[in-house]
Amino acid sequence: QVRLVESGGGLVQAGASLRLSCAASGLSFSFYAGGWFRQVPGKQREFVAAVSRSGAYRYYGDSVKGRFTASRDNTNNTVYLQMNSLKPEDTAVYYCAVGGIPEGATSIARYSDYSKYRYWGQGTQVTVSS
């Protein structure tokens, strides 16, 4: 049984930092790319960041470039999202996901497509106050 468990969300003030973690189990983790998406009520799911199977390639949505960093630890089957300089507009439920995107698919188009991700976590709330 595949499980993805996010942690690290919370309530912070604008300008603060948070690090989200996503612990995976029940799958060969290094065979999967890891992605982060976020969603607010009434809006479409938004691509935030992704990291390739090896961790060599990273991709970001325009709204978080330069502030967020995606990474992974294949030894501990965990994907991370370091979020710095948080803004109120970053408030959302953040979901991690994994999908069988090939390492050689060096294109953000595939990593930002939520349909390419097979397994999803339950989500963690991030709230940024002004």
Indicate the pLDDT class of residue 110, thresholds 50, 70 and 90. Answer: very high
Query: Alpha-carbon distance 10 to 94, whole Å?
Result: 11
Nearest to 91 by CA among 23, 7, 14: 14
CA pair distance 66, 54, nearest whole angstrom: 21
Question: pLDDT tens digit string along 10-32?
Answer: 999 999 999 999 999 999 999 99
The tens digit of pLDDT for each residue in 41-74 reads: 999 999 999 999 999 999 999 999 999 999 999 9
